[in-house]
Structure 1
Amino acid sequence: MPPTAADSAAAPSGLEHYPITLFATTMGLGGFTLALRAGAESLGLGGWPWQAALALTVAVFVLVAAGYALKALRHPAAVVAEWRHPVRLAFFPTVSISLLIIATAALPLYPAVAEAAWLFGTGLQAVLALAVITGWISARAFQQGHLNPAWFIPAVGNVFVPVAGAQMGYVETSFLFFSAGMIFWMVLLTLVFNRLVFHDPMPARLQPTLVIMIAPPAVASIAWLRMTGEMDAFGHILMSLGFVFAALVAVQVPRILRLPFALSFWALSFPVAALTIASLLHHEATGTGGYLWLGAALLAVLSLLIAGLVGRTLLAMVRGEICKPE
């Protein structure tokens, strides 16, 4: 039976403003989990830190997904409005990417469950990426100011599919998604740089999304290593590009950290996690000691970043700063 006006009135305060961007928290926590797992052997961290982080990631994902499902039931018009929003549209694939990250992290512990989650996440990623890109090139009118690095998210999701998919034996599927992610990354990279250089600065709430530029090449290098089994010249180039973009955005970070907190600050977490994992895997594949120390340093930075984001998000929830109209 569909919800009535009385049911909507009884909904929790602010539920209609429950943002799709909350799924960025599970992407960040999941990336942190994978970074801890990458450092389990390389840095002697052991298994319990990443397993505890995995449990936290799954718990947060379930809570966030349940909240958004309730919003969809009580306020479907609000979900449609987010889908039609020129900026928030790009955040819908954070749902499928979160599932893929959880599946990848859980693979050593629960391979059957991880494969089922990966298959569902891959199918959802295909649907969402196709729908988002179709929305971009359809009859809708997007302005130059709507474009921002968050538009990379659908491409990142496609490139992430092979990270676990290749290990499970889905080689052709992995190359298909990798190819789609790479071509849209290159197209969007050109568009985003054009927007950043020749148009007005992005609003303060979107400034943290600049860090997302690190993610596509960093994740692509991890995916390439999983698909080919070696860190060849192309994989090395991809990882190096991750550091190039890290250098570009690093000079912006002090200014970004002075901005008022918003959920978009979680955009800082997953890219740093991806670069951490790429560094540690590069060390394992090549034995280059410098990347071990670099990965360790990045993991320390990521740990502090996650702790700060979790604390600031909890404080924002207590103050009622999350589920409110913008």
Structure 2
Amino acid sequence: MNASRWSGWAVPASYFSMVLGLTGLGNGWRVAARLWGWPAWIGEAVMTVAVAVWAVLVIRYAMKWLVARQEAAAEIAHPILCCFVSLAFVATMLVGLGIAPHAPGIAQGLCVAGALGALVFGVWRHGGLWRGDRDVKATTPVLYLPTVAANLVSAIAASALGWPEWGQLFFGAGVIAWLALESVMVARFLNADPLPLALRPTLGIQQAPPAVALLAYASVSIGPPDLIAHMLLGYALVQSLIVIRLLPWIRQPFSLSAWAFSFGATAIATGTMRFAERNGDRVFTTLAPVLFVVSNVVVIGLAIASVVWLLRGKAPAAAAPAR
């Protein structure tokens, strides 16, 4: 195989964040169809696009290991970029949930493979970090991905497949990992040098842990929204407002890294809608349509910007942030 001919197919693992945003929006439309009677075909159409994007990215990421192995190995060894690799497993689980109504057997296989892969990668990656000797400047919100995002999505997947007890195990792992990392992250923001421009879009991930935890809690629990649900929603809203306040500081020429904002935006909306389905809690029923509209604006805006970005012929591979 002529490696140079195919090297342009190589993509960074961070591109899988597009799948997270698209499946998140598709799932939101599925809930909207149940909750408000909105068109069900929209959710299925968005899920179809998400599956197609995932398939393309899986092929191109696999090609990276075949024709640009040195680049792929450098990414997985990088103190920041390595954490994005977990998105491949998370995206696989979410695609499994996307096709579950149509192909439950395949969905189960994808979810199990994604959950096991994410668990192994998270243990390996964070186990390596515990050895120390790491620059504090490498601490960014991407650290949430291998243990927080992966475990919370595993909780959602396990519950959706009818294994709520296993989902609760993953929920506990994800929430406690988030709480442990949150203080580390805020201490870095307050006391270390400001994030360099290239890394500022990763702040979009900062709003995701409480939002995804809310959605996961809706998946592993029953009954109307309780104190924990209100707490998770409240903190997710505050984190989102802080990120919005920082947008002028974060803003830079568009790249696909902006999809970091998508999963948190869709998760908080869908989690709120899931709880709004259960009873007449006025907090959740009031905020659900507002947050759902916002999530649509975020994902549709990112999708349009991404198409324009690609049509302009931007290079598919993003430069690695400085160590």
TM-score, with normalisation over the residues of structure 2?
Answer: 0.91
Task: Specify which of 174, 186, 210 is matched with residue 181 of structure 1.
Answer: 174
Equivalence for 2:4 = 9
How far apart, in 1, do the equivalents of 2:20 and 2:281 lie?
A: 28
Task: Specify which of 309, 312, 317 is matched with residue 302 of structure 2.
Answer: 309
Equivalence for 1:144 = 136
How far apart, in 1, do the equivalents of 2:129 and 2:64 lie?
A: 25
How far apart, in 2, do the equivalents of 1:310 and 1:190 lie?
A: 33
Shift of 1:63: 0.4
Equivalence for 1:33 = 26
Structure 1: unaligned runs, 5 residues or longer: none
Q: In structure 2, what residue type is equivalent to 1:233?
A: L
Residues 232, 180 of structure 1: CA spacing in aligned structure 2 closer, same or farther, 3 A cutoff? same
Shift of 1:82: 0.2
Question: Which range moves more in the overlay, 21-30 or 206-215?
Answer: 206-215
How far apart, in 1, do the equivalents of 2:294 and 2:248 lie?
A: 14
How far apart, in 2, do the equivalents of 1:29 and 1:142 lie?
A: 34
Residues 1:235 and 2:229 are matched in the alignment: yes
Q: In structure 2, what residue type is equivalent to 1:228?
A: S
Question: Which range moves more in the overlay, 109-118 or 60-69?
Answer: 109-118
Shift of 1:207: 1.5
Residues 1:110 and 2:115 are matched in the alignment: no
Structure 2: unaligned runs, 5 residues or longer: none
Q: Would the aligned equivalents of 2:20 and 2:263 in 1 still touch at CA under 8 Å? A: yes
How far apart, in 2, do the equivalents of 1:168 and 1:261 lie?
A: 37
Q: Tell me, what secondary structure is at the counterpart of 1:142?
A: coil
Residues 1:77 and 2:77 are matched in the alignment: no
Q: Deviations over 1:33-90 (max 9, x none)?
A: 1111121122321210000011000000000110111111111111100011111111
Residues 1:323 and 2:316 are matched in the alignment: yes
Equivalence for 1:197 = 190
Shift of 1:168: 2.4
Q: Would the aligned equivalents of 1:214 and 1:275 in 2 still touch at CA under 8 Å? A: no
Q: Would the aligned equivalents of 1:43 and 1:296 in 2 still touch at CA under 8 Å? A: no
How far apart, in 1, do the equivalents of 2:14 and 2:276 lie?
A: 33
Equivalence for 1:170 = 163
Q: Deviations over 1:192-240 (max 9, x none)?
A: 1011011111122222222322221222222222222123222322222
Shift of 1:153: 1.3
Q: Which runs of 4+ in 1 moved over 3 A?
A: none
Q: In structure 2, what residue type is equivalent to 1:252?
A: L
Residues 1:61 and 2:51 are matched in the alignment: no
Q: Aligned pair count?
A: 317
How far apart, in 1, do the equivalents of 2:210 and 2:219 lie?
A: 14
TM-score, with normalisation over the residues of structure 1?
Answer: 0.91
Equivalence for 1:276 = 269
Q: Would the aligned equivalents of 2:215 and 2:268 in 1 still touch at CA under 8 Å? A: no
Residues 1:287 and 2:299 are matched in the alignment: no
